[in-house]
Amino acid sequence: MSKTYTPEELKKLPFMNENLNIEQRVEDLLKRLELKEKFKLCAGRHRWETKPIDRLGIPAFLMTDGPHGVAPHSSGGKECTYFPVGICRAATWNHDLCFQFGKALAEEAREVGAHMILGPGVNIDRTPLCGRTFEYQTEDPYLNKKMAVPVIKGVQGERIAACIKHYICNNQEKNRYTYSAEVSQRALEELYFPAYKAAVEEADVWSVMGSYNKINRVYGCAHKKLLKKVLMDRWGFRGFVVSDWNATHLIDNPEDCIKAGLSLEMPRAKHYKRRYLKEAFSKGKFTEEELDEIVKRLLRVMFLVGIFDDPSTLPQGVRNTKEHQDIARKIAEEGIVLLRNEDNILPLERDQIQKIAIKGLNADRKLAEGGGSSAVKPPYEITPRTGLEQKCEDKIEIIDDVEEAEYVFLVLGLDHEEHNDVENSDRESLELPEAQLDLIDEVTEKNENIIVILINGSPIRMDNWINKVKAIIEAWYPGQEGGHVIADIIFGDVNPSGKLPLTFPKRLEDSPAHLTEKRYPGNEKVFYEENIFVGYRYFDTQNIKPLFPFGFGLSYTNFKYKNIELDKTEFSDNEKLTISLKIENIGKREGAEIIQLYIQKVHPKIERPVKELKGFKKVFLTPKQNKTIQFKIIKEALSYYDDDLKLWNVNEGEYKVLIGGSSRDIRLESKFNYKKQ
């Protein structure tokens, strides 16, 4: 029987010594664990925590949902700040806001007693029907990694673990427990890996969540190639892999998970029950060395978050602060996208309006507590109606009769019910619900000044009604301050600067994942036959006109792009190419422009997209102000994954630099040559 230490004795053990480095502490604790205790650490209990080892003073490691606010179901029902959803945050194209959000999220997680936040979600938006598109960020791998890395740094800077999810190709909710994503290595490398790779190599992410689905016929939580060989060996991941909740149930045995590198089975033991592990170990199905490796990874993160350290030395948690509310509001301000503004109907002038009408189911709805694992219970939630009422107070009358109103606000969109924006269910159509389409028809017959506000987290078909309305504001699910921000944008106190992080198709059948049923929804297998041509890579290469292109978003001011210059016309392997241009605000309002840089290979040797995003900058300018903007390009920006050579490759020859306001709004271009040394 191993020794049970008293609190005083524990304090003297090396693993409790904060002056030792983490690896020394991990090794000391690991060698003190009995085999059965190692087994015990490999599975959760009480849904959100690991099992404590009282003998050695190892407390439970606590986890919490979710990606845009600490969830009530994993925090004892606590009220927490409801930040805008992931797709809204991605639409800001603002790294600094992502960092501030991550820091605030970690502070709230710390305050409720958690050690890890289950997010960010970074699955590529392959199909617009995916029920969790609202949680995810984008269809583009470059934007995906650039927005994920600062979130992780913000979280982990507070010594709370981030858990990036869901590794990998969890691109639909339909059949999510059973389907196999049949995907090429090139698509994995170019589209689906980059955010995870950057999370490891640039942000040192401390946890990765294994997905429910199979990848090329192997379940994500038992995928030795993707977990052990790619994530750990190739990228150098030092944290631990946790299963998605109940994601191991259809896996055949525990040893496959152990050998793949799954440290923690959640929410409780299925394959990692101690009797199963003991039996498999006794039969030589896995070694203690292999077991030690997965336990060591979990222990390492326990030390990284300070679970054994003096609490007074750790960052302090706070919840529902004014600062967090301001961050939520700022993300909404920069993430909401103005999609249509005919006749420059917006912004409205308060002192020139007497009567408005507000219609639509989403005008009054509070949606924070829906969606599944991403639910949040906020201290308050400002709906669009409340925001408009407070903005109009004592100045503008809000009436019911749409014929008498000077302007009508239709607050439409989706919700978090089944077959909408919700976990474990995909949408069945791009259409708005029939009752909302009827409302559009009814109101547009009586009033021509219609402003649509969309509350939703994924693309909506609009071609059958878009010309009936004057303005469309894509507000996403904008968080607890959303109603205030919507009103601020409508009346010009905020100039919208968000841009779409994914393509809005005119019709579902225009999307590359929907050309055949094999691609979506599939059955036991989902064939990623579009390969690397997801989102704008497909629409632009095939010259299919979308409803709204990737990177699109209007402003109340205008920007002029000019004077593109390259510091060289030819560069090679270890050099950098510097691209500069000037951007000027030529309108009458201050505003922000998101300048996007795309690269195109002229006369490619293999099939490649017509353009790929390789840089962006968000620039804030006052009227008549101009700035010089620089981008630096290295050879990796020109590279592609060569399936034949099984490595990343760059072709010599001519390339184009394309710079503009969206993938379909290229304002400047130039050429250069790449030559291998």
Q: What is the pLDDT of residues 544-556, one digit of tens each?
A: 999 999 999 999 9
> CA 472 to CA 411: how far, in whole Å?
10
| Residue 235 clears pLDDT 90, i.e. is over it | yes
SS3 string of 199-241?
HHHCCCCCEEEECCCEECCEEHHHCHHHHHHHHHHHCCCCCEE
User: At 595, is the secondary structure helix, strand, or coil?
Assistant: strand
Tell which CATH classification among 2.60.40.10, 2.70.98.50, 1.20.1580.10, 3.40.50.2300 matches the domain 559-674: 2.60.40.10
User: At 457, is the secondary structure helix, strand, or coil?
Assistant: coil
Spatial CA neighbour of 596 closest among 504, 473, 499: 499
Q: Give the residue-averaged pLDDT of 476-480.
A: 98
**What is the reported pLDDT for 508?**
98
pLDDT mean across residues, the chain: 97
Q: How would you classify residue 398: left for phi > 0, otherwise alpha for psi between -120 and 50, otherwise beta? A: beta
| Residue 364 clears pLDDT 90, i.e. is over it | yes
Q: Give the residue-averaged pLDDT of 410-439.
A: 98
**What is the reported pLDDT for 1?**
60
The 10 Å CB-count burial string (b at 16+, else e) for 631-656 is bebebebbbbbbeeeeeeebbeeebb
**What is the reported pLDDT for 125?**
98
Those residues whose C-beta lies under 8 Å from the C-beta of residue 458, and which sit 6 or more positions away, are 87, 125, 128, 129, 130, 133, 134, 414, 421, 427
Q: Give the residue-averaged pLDDT of 290-315.
A: 97
- The DSSP letter of residue 361 is G
HSE-CB of 7 using CA atoms within 13 angstroms: 1
Four-CA torsion 292, 294, 296, 301, nearest 10 degrees: -170
User: At 415, is the secondary structure helix, strand, or coil?
Assistant: coil
Tell which CATH classification among 3.40.50.300, 3.40.50.1700, 3.40.920.10, 3.10.350.10 matches the domain 336-501: 3.40.50.1700
| Residue 492 clears pLDDT 80, i.e. is over it | yes
| Residue 105 clears pLDDT 80, i.e. is over it | yes
What is the pTM assigned to this prediction? Answer: 0.98
> CA 231 to CA 483: how far, in whole Å?
41
User: How many other CB atoms are there within 10 angstroms of residue 55's CB atom?
Assistant: 16
CATH fold group of domain 7-313: TIM Barrel (3.20.20)
**What one-character-per-residue DSSP string does 519-532 give?**
TTT-SSEEE-TTTT
User: 626-633 and 612-621: which strand pairing?
Assistant: unpaired
Four-CA torsion 100, 104, 109, 113, nearest 10 degrees: 130
**What is the reported pLDDT for 2?**
83
Beta bridge partners of 582: 562, 628
Q: What percent of the chain has pLDDT over 70?
A: 100
Q: Where are the domains of the chain?
A: 7-313, 336-501, 559-674
Residue 274 burial (10 A CB sphere; 0-12, 13-18, 19+): middle
Axis-axis angle for helices 482-490, 322-335 (nearest 10): 50
Spatial CA neighbour of 68 closest among 56, 85, 93, 52: 85
Q: Give the residue-averaged pLDDT of 66-86.
A: 97
Type of residue found at 284: G
Number of H helices, E strands in the chain: 17, 28
Active site residues: 244
> CA 203 to CA 461: how far, in whole Å?
37
